[in-house]
Chain A
Amino acid sequence: MSPQRLPARPGEVIDRRRPLSFTWNGRALSGFAGDTIVSALAASGCRVFSRSMKYHRPRGILTADYWDPNTLVQVGDEPNVRGGHRLLEAHMAASAQNAWPSLRWDAKTLTALGGRALSAGFYYKTFMRPRWLWPTYEKVLARFAPGGVIDPESAPRRHDKRYAHPDVVVAGGGPAGLAAAAAAGQAGAAVMLVEHEHAVGGHLRWDGASGRAAASELAEAARAAGVEILTDATVAGRWEDNWLAIVERAAGGGPERLIKARAKVLVVAAGLIERPYVFAGNDRPGVMLSQGARRLANLWAVRPGSRAVVFSANAAGDAAAADLEAAGVAVEHVDARTGRTVTAAEGRRNALERVVLSDGSRLEADLLVTAAGWTAPTSLLNMAGVRPCYDPTAARFFPAEPGVSEAGAVLSTGGISGDGTLEAHVSHGEATGRLAAARAATLAHRLRVATAWAAPVNGPEPPLVPDERTPLGRHRHPALFCSSTDGMVDFSEDVSSRDLRNAAAEGFDSVELVKRWTTATMGSAQGKLETVNTVAVLAEATGSTISEVGTTTWRPPFAPVTLGALAGRPFEPVRVSSLHDLHVAAGMAPISAGQWIRPEHYGEPQAEVRNVRANVGIIDVSPLGKLDIQGPDATDLLSLLYLNKWRRLAVGSVRYGVMCAEDGVILDDGVTGRLGEDHYLMSTTSSGAGAVEVWIQNWLQTEHPDWRVRVTPVTDAFTSINVAGPRSRTLLERLTDDVDLSPEAFKYMQVRRGTVAGVASCVMWRIGFTGELSYELHVPAGHGPHVWSALLAAGGDLGVAPFGLEAQRVMRLEKGHFIVGQDTDALTKAPTAGLEWLIKLDKEDFCGLPELRWALDGEPGGAPEALQRLVAVQPTDPAYVPPEACQIVAAGPGGTERIIGRITSSRYSPTLERSICLAQVEADHPGAGTQLTVVDVSGRRHRATVMADHAHFDPEGGRLRG
């Protein structure tokens, strides 16, 4: 490696006063601030940057920019860093990827020896026999996985996201993009300009003094027009209604940031990407595209070689030749426009030594620069529905006429749209910017008119300005894709033109099939360098034209985006009741139940159960869904939602209800209390609260908009506390004076409103999920902590203690209450859960009525179907608690076993001192006393008995009615 840094050059972007030391494969090197990793390495004389994926061939610089497929490197713990783009930093530890044991001598090059057989897709054709050896083959193949190394243990970093609503987003900060942004800004639009490179100016930056002057003038105009300029940023994708993903990369590989922008108008000014030329040896280090050579020489003052052949089909190639000569390189100019062409790049080992031309001449050279043509990166336009169309005269794809889509909300300008002088591009850019601003004004007007909360608009809608831009021209360009020899088409994927032709012959003759068979265009640049050559080779192979073959679909993102940026800061809402801090202080074991954090227990759930059964306990049930229902038609609504009847429910009473969906499947359950003639408080399950509210609104708004009823979610308005246990009345009596709690005055399944611990407007209902005498208090949430503390303070002598979710689960199972979603599933209809008593088929209507009618009465012309049945089950061994979801089996045909059900809930009951379960079993096995076989997760069979009643404990309900 001999140094290749040139003396100071005008326009160089390096700061020679700020040298930076770094390492490359462990070796200490240095560069300057402003260098990219690749330019610093090239300046140090490095020629080989990676090994190719399949054949492990040495690879050098191709484009010296973000899209360079050969210069992906590992930097510290970051894989696949674009060495041609990432700026050098002090103490950076960079290393090559895909090289083992070293870049200079790569053991896997051996595959090249067998390369004869390693055509694209070879792996589909071998390694099939013997079958048992395939896993071993697979491990060997896996060693060839390309890419860098990720450390899954590396510390996560915080990425910010933001939303933006610009009038105009300009993708691309070259001359046309800058001009468009400035013109749009001058016309009053809020403009964001997004430039992929580290500075705006596009190719002007490496295009001599006049180019640089023009770039800074254009940039200054954009800044003066108030344009928000983002550099080292990419518009990664465009979706419906100009929803854009803009990714801002950060210096030093810092956290990227995602901006989600709703742009009124998108201007695509992404410029052109230079296309490699396909010929034998075109992937040899030393073969470079003209833009790569010019960037190296002009931006970073690096001499890309000492003796160059410049194969040029256009002005950019001619300029490269001039630049190289100015940099002291001996240049042989091969003008493609005269019909001369390159057929091979030859040399030994890693070096280029000779260039072979079509006329048979051989030119000594260590650098071959090709300028064979351009590819328009139309990706963003394609995402907007604009198709690329091939123009054989210009030998490249263009966006379909007229480069406008979706009511003019997407425009294009610059090289992607056509050719011309700098003045022509700037003038087209300005016209595009003015058009974009005018269109944005129209769309902004429409948005404001339509948006309920926007400021009123008085004037008429600004007319949708027609596109009267003078189109850019299209220059004639030789159609150069593939020479007479075969070469590399996809450098990332090691796919050659011969691979593509063979694939076509094998029947993979459309562009999508050939892409999948060979993996061409699927590498790091996602086809930006490779697609058009792939299409051209395929067209030739199949005897069709490039237009007929067409291109593959460009998929987002335009440039790869880190998962960190996409994820941003995770928003995971947490809901807590007003008692949360008290629970924490009391040492709760928390559990996540949906978004809620709840106390699972406070130490010993079994003791909590015993305390409720013996004394009194209090539990925070605030997450229970609660809906305030008011209006003259409230009763009709309840009748529609629930299976049972509500007309005769007295004011001051509560009733249990079950809701089914229209297919008869159980949706939710809960109790609802009648607070007044037209006023109910409905409770739902905690997990179903949101869905039930939407379900009700759907019925009200779409089926019964005439009903006079208002439904308001009030879950969070109340802290809900269940006071349960034989001593609950005594406890509550100490804190209540305006409600008569005597069993005669306040019966089971009644509701009262009163004052608890000095807090007025509490709703109290006497219900018993735990099976004990209990009162559910709904206290205005702000007063929740006060009431909770008062209950604990007032009941010390009664043994009051808080209990958690687990104790409640045990007690509800002792009582045989099912839980929707656990003991029922997505097919459980009401009769399965034993709810026939609740289903009132004589009601005019309720949700699920027809299905439940047929389930109970039988379908017209059919019998009632055999359903599963929910039953209480007790294992014969009282100490054995079958894990929930264990299967229940019965003898099947031929000595086999057949699944007939499953355990849906199971616990050890401290009250009964035995295991208890709920289970779903086939309807012909549910009789009391039936012996069942439960299969444990270990495979052991356990006997269990079906019980007569769902309730294992106190089936008569004497305790809760007491």
Chain B
Amino acid sequence: MLLVPCPHCGPRNSADLTLVGETEPRPDPATTTPAEWRAYLYEEHNPAGWCRETWHCRLGCGRFFVTERHRGANRFRHPPLGASAGEPGEAR
């Protein structure tokens, strides 16, 4: 089970957190267009590389936080134990 670097708790089992999704700014509801709003609602970058995402430390501190994860190798930019220096991609 992946260890997720919660900035408040420290490394935690991923089962203790929820991945909320990609971190995207919310368009201004007063001026937004259907195209822009629905891109915000539905579209994803979904990269196989680094991705900025929001997590919720559900069972731990209850905080929402933003972090970067490599979705190809399932590694965090700042891994909890400082493991695997360098770019992932080789792993698995």
Q: Are A and B close enough to touch in the complex, i.e. CB under 8 Å? A: yes
Contact residues of A with B, CB < 8 Å?
239-241, 243, 385, 405-407, 409, 443, 446-447, 450-454, 662-663, 694, 697-698, 701-703, 844-845, 849-851, 854, 859-860
Contacts of A694 in B (CB 8 A): 18, 56, 58
Given A240-B1, A385-B92, A407-B85, A450 and B34 touching (CB < 8 A)?
no
Contacts of B9 in A (CB 8 A): 451-453
A-B CB contact pairs (8 Å), 17 listed = A240-B3, A241-B11, A241-B83, A406-B91, A407-B85, A409-B83, A446-B80, A447-B80, A447-B81, A450-B5, A450-B11, A451-B11, A698-B56, A698-B64, A703-B26, A845-B30, A850-B32
Other than the given A241-B11, A697-B64, 18 more pairs (CB < 8 A) read A240-B2, A240-B3, A241-B81, A243-B2, A243-B13, A385-B90, A406-B91, A407-B83, A409-B81, A450-B10, A451-B9, A452-B9, A662-B40, A662-B41, A701-B63, A702-B54, A702-B64, A845-B30
Once the chains bind, are A240 and B74 in contact (CB under 8 Å)?
yes
Given A446-B81, A850-B29, A663 and B10 touching (CB < 8 A)?
no
Give the residues from 62 to 87 in chain B that come closer than 8 angstroms, CB to CB, to chain A. Answer: 62-64, 74, 80-85
- What is the bound-complex CA distance between A698 and B63, given in angstroms? 9
Interface SS of chain B: loop
Contacts of B58 in A (CB 8 A): 694
Taking the nearest CB of chain B, how far is it from the CB of A121, in angstroms?
30
Give the residues from 10 to 69 in chain B that come closer than 8 angstroms, CB to CB, to chain A. Answer: 10-11, 13, 18, 20, 26-27, 29-30, 32-34, 37, 40-41, 54, 56, 58, 61-64
Once the chains bind, are B2 and A241 in contact (CB under 8 Å)?
yes
Taking the nearest CB of chain A, how far is it from the CB of B50, in angstroms?
17
Contacts of A702 in B (CB 8 A): 54, 64
Partner of B62 from A450, A697, A703, A851 at Cβ < 8 Å: A697
Once the chains bind, are B20 and A698 in contact (CB under 8 Å)?
yes
Q: How large is the interface on B (under 10, 10 to 19, 20 to 34, 35 or more residues)?
A: 35 or more
Given A241-B3, A243-B1, A859 and B34 touching (CB < 8 A)?
yes
Taking the nearest CB of chain A, how far is it from the CB of B65, in angstroms?
9
Once the chains bind, are B74 and A845 in contact (CB under 8 Å)?
no
Taking the nearest CB of chain A, how far is it from the CB of B15, in angstroms?
10
Contact residues of B with A, CB < 8 Å?
1-3, 5, 8-11, 13, 18, 20, 26-27, 29-30, 32-34, 37, 40-41, 54, 56, 58, 61-64, 74, 80-85, 90-92
By Cβ-Cβ distance, the 4 closest A-B pairs, closest first, are: A451-B10, A407-B83, A450-B10, A385-B91
Once the chains bind, are A860 and B34 in contact (CB under 8 Å)?
yes
Given A663-B41, A845-B29, A406 and B64 touching (CB < 8 A)?
no
Contacts of A851 in B (CB 8 A): 37
Contacts of B40 in A (CB 8 A): 662
Contacts of A703 in B (CB 8 A): 26
- What is the bound-complex CA distance between A850 and B2, given in angstroms? 38
Partner of B1 from A239, A452, A844 at Cβ < 8 Å: A239
Contacts of A697 in B (CB 8 A): 56, 62, 64
Once the chains bind, are A446 and B82 in contact (CB under 8 Å)?
yes
- What is the bound-complex CA distance between A892 and B34, given in angstroms? 32
Contacts of B61 in A (CB 8 A): 452
Contacts of B37 in A (CB 8 A): 850-851
- What is the bound-complex CA distance between A442 and B15, given in angstroms? 25
Contacts of A662 in B (CB 8 A): 26, 40-41
Contacts of A859 in B (CB 8 A): 34
- What is the bound-complex CA distance between A662 and B42, given in angstroms? 11
- What is the bound-complex CA distance between A854 and B35, given in angstroms? 12
Taking the nearest CB of chain A, how far is it from the CB of B22, in angstroms?
13
Taking the nearest CB of chain B, how far is it from the CB of A694, in angstroms?
7
- What is the bound-complex CA distance between A241 and B1, given in angstroms? 7
Contacts of B41 in A (CB 8 A): 662-663
- What is the bound-complex CA distance between A409 and B79, given in angstroms? 14
Once the chains bind, are A849 and B29 in contact (CB under 8 Å)?
yes
Q: Which residue of A lies closest to B9 (CB)?
A: A452
Which of A443, A446, A453, A844 has the largest count of B CB atoms less than 10 A from its CB? Answer: A446
Given A241-B2, A407-B82, A697-B62, A860 and B33 touching (CB < 8 A)?
yes
- What is the bound-complex CA distance between A827 and B64, given in angstroms? 27
- What is the bound-complex CA distance between A851 and B40, given in angstroms? 12
Contacts of A698 in B (CB 8 A): 20, 56, 64
Given A385-B90, A385-B91, A854 and B64 touching (CB < 8 A)?
no
Q: Which residue of A lies closest to B34 (CB)?
A: A859
- What is the bound-complex CA distance between A241 and B80, given in angstroms? 9
